[in-house]
Chain A
């Protein structure tokens, strides 16, 4: 319980920090929404009138307090440009981006877990080397490039084997689930490969760690083969670390899929953010970034909680007064980087 209170306090403090950072960073950009709205035939009068209308002529402190006051009431504001509530806009775009992330993560796990285990189990030097190279190459290929390759290979219209649509999202959205899903396949594979290679390395490191402990030897002494021991005992012991890694990968993908969204012309969160920054619709951008940051932080919190639920040792450590949650996550992350 104390752990939860502690984490919640940190959560709120981080949110406050994010709100200041986002607000200040965005004001450094040249140009403003009034100029964008007024366009190339604008007169200075016209721009001044729009600035007053949007409240851009007020001191920055007032603007900030106004915005944060809204946030405290759960009001993320209204986009100056589209006149729609920011929540509604984010919700609409998230209905594309989140399925895409989940699909990518699924593909990443599908690639990463078996190959990671395989590289622990591989005995031959050649096999081991091959899997090692595979992990490095897979992780080093930019999603942009693999995406282009996938378009060249599989896109309908231009690809060699034209089976998947590669541009845009059906206008009827999820009302046509088949079409919607098929338009997400190629982008999900593009990001899934990169993330999958990462997860493969993490899996190898985590399971390898467990092997260095006595648990595997013990299991084999009890009659399991090495394969059985690694898959049944080693993998299970490594699960808490792998959950952390999967959670972190999920968080990374929120920004990672933005590149792929633009490559595949998908109207997701990335396209929304890029458009709003381009139009200098700062109220919308800062609320969107704030929402994303809050989501990141919340995800971290949830992962830590799951982590503790899966690993009873952490609770025991907590009882003696140390907060071990961050430590373990950190060590898993550093292992993966090797």
Chain B
């Protein structure tokens, strides 16, 4: 700015010269005096700006330090060991609404089942069926009649009584109104209340999956007399009630004072679930103490917590999420089994898992480790570029004449996966084009219309092997043997028998290579010191919060 000063009297100022070349000496004198003041004006404004910036920085730094001191003081209080009446949990995926009978998405099941809504039976963290509203049940020898004995003196959070009528109504309504997952009870003929505490389900065909299905949305019991907006609130019989819900911010839960079950009464009065879609913001929220638990932290961001084991606990557990790279077998290029097998040999799963932080589980087939019928099938197609190249050559493709394929996948999964697959498959003579689309476009093109070559999606549902036995599903996989085995598994009356058939079927599917299972996503949960009772397993789908406590 001071340069401006020197340049001022010089060449460019022609007009100025004219003006100051006044004949009136007094005017000239007046004209010069403000010129002398001018640099001061600039200087003053410059100083003013600097001062303002300095003050802003100073104040924020001061407040930051103060906040840090406050939290360290709070840390000292931990000796007093006070149980907090509020626990805040951060999760990544927010449900768009709370309408569990219409809206898809595992986030809804995760948040509401077992906390706000309860099912006739429940699921534990090992994915096994446990008593729920029913304390016991009997299944007839032919597998066609299920009799449930309900707990006594149950009620909804609004005080309404919960009895066998509500249970039977809820299940019949699911089927009649075609609510979400109604297809899970297609073997059901009808549900009826035998007396106030007994419900009988009659089936048309045996269904070994039914009981497990009833632990999910299909078995939930709703209050038929209650009026509420199911999209913005929820009314059930669980240990918590919904105070408020905003899908861009948080779900606030409060302990249900009228809860019927003394064993599962909420231990913390207020439970807040915050939706933190941005991973860095989520990590900062945990570090800043805004949340006490953070689920689904990317493994690449957990190092800082692992190294601070005095204040944080990091745990990773198996889940039912399967990243499925589906091959459209009705496409002429992919109808050739050699091509499909070559792709499976050509993909280096270890590399993909390592780049994601090394916690995900290799998965060789359609059934994840938490589901019945699981067996380790990763040895069927070990990574081998040579084998893949040989198969591609057999099928008539070489490096000079590569096979052109298009992978369609949704932009919720990040571009890295597609890029990795592209570079891995280019080594075996496949020129992979990536079609990176919105999730709704993927749903329309791939899921609804089945119009794709390769598709990648995370199938989060547990017990979803039926998709490989349903040719109308977008996999288009049609194998009579698999369908027969799956039918036998459903008709089986003992779990062992059913598992055996599922194992056989899963192996056939994997050998046939209608898809590659890139990995099983394993969820990483970080809890702050003092948090107790947070479920360690399967927290992506079953998240009972009643036992969670936080000691400050």
Contacts and interface: CB of A to CB of B under 8 A. Distances in A.
Given A41-B104, A81-B97, A82-B96, A265 B440 contact: no
A30 B441 contact: yes
B104 A39 contact: yes
Contacts of A123: 4, 7-8, 10-13, 16
B444 A30 contact: yes
Contact of A163 (B60, B102, B439, B441): B60
B530 interface: no
A248 interface: no
Contacts of A126: 3, 7
B274 interface: yes
Contact of A228 (B34, B248, B250, B284): B34
B7 A167 contact: no
A168 B283 CA distance: 12
Interface in A2-59: 29-32, 35-47, 49-50
Contacts of B16: 123, 225-226
Contact of B440 (A31, A125, A165, A220): A31
A171 B250 contact: yes
Contact of A127 (B4, B34, B64): B4
B231 A83 contact: yes
Contacts of B63: 178
A30 B445 contact: yes
A81 B96 contact: yes
Nearest to B247: A82
Nearest to B32: A225
Interface residues of B, number: 67
Contact of B232 (A35, A82, A124): A82
Given A124-B3, A278-B438, A40 B445 contact: no
Interface stretch (B154-162, B180-188, B486-494): B180-188
A125 B19 contact: no
Interface in A150-184: 156-158, 161-165, 167-168, 171, 178, 182
A125 B3 CA distance: 11
B35 A225 contact: yes
B34 A168 contact: no
A84 interface: yes
Interface string B1-27: 001100110111101100100000001
Interface in B457-494: 457, 459, 461, 464
Residue among A42, A161, A171, A277 with max Cβ neighbours from chain B (10 Å): A171
A223 interface: yes
A124 B34 contact: no
A38 B104 contact: yes
B204 to A, nearest CB: 18
B63 to A, nearest CB: 8
A259 B97 CA distance: 26
Given A41-B181, A122-B4, A220-B19, A114 B61 contact: no
A46 B45 contact: no
B443 A36 contact: yes
B99 interface: yes
B298 interface: no
Contacts of A278: 438-440
A80 to B, nearest CB: 9
A84 B448 contact: no
Interface string B335-351: 00000000000000000
A35 B96 contact: no
Contacts of A63: none
Nearest to A130: B3
B495 interface: no
Interface in B16-54: 16, 19, 27, 30-31, 34-35, 38, 45
B278 interface: yes
Contact of A223 (B31, B97, B247, B248): B31
Interface of A: 29-32, 35-47, 49-50, 81-84, 114, 122-128, 156-158, 161-165, 167-168, 171, 178, 182, 217, 220-221, 223, 225-228, 265, 267, 271-272, 275, 277-280
28 contacts: A31-B441, A31-B444, A35-B444, A36-B440, A40-B104, A40-B457, A40-B459, A41-B461, A41-B464, A42-B447, A44-B448, A46-B182, A46-B183, A81-B96, A81-B97, A124-B3, A124-B8, A167-B278, A167-B281, A168-B278, A220-B15, A220-B19, A223-B27, A223-B31, A225-B35, A227-B35, A278-B439, A279-B440
Given A40-B459, A41-B183, A41-B464, 17 more contacts: A30-B440, A31-B441, A37-B103, A39-B180, A39-B443, A46-B183, A81-B97, A83-B230, A123-B7, A127-B7, A157-B287, A163-B64, A167-B281, A182-B60, A225-B35, A279-B440, A280-B440
Interface of B: 3-4, 7-8, 10-13, 15-16, 19, 27, 30-31, 34-35, 38, 45, 57, 60-61, 63-64, 96-97, 99, 102-105, 177-178, 180-183, 229-232, 247-250, 274, 276-278, 280-281, 284-285, 287, 290, 438-441, 443-445, 447-448, 457, 459, 461, 464
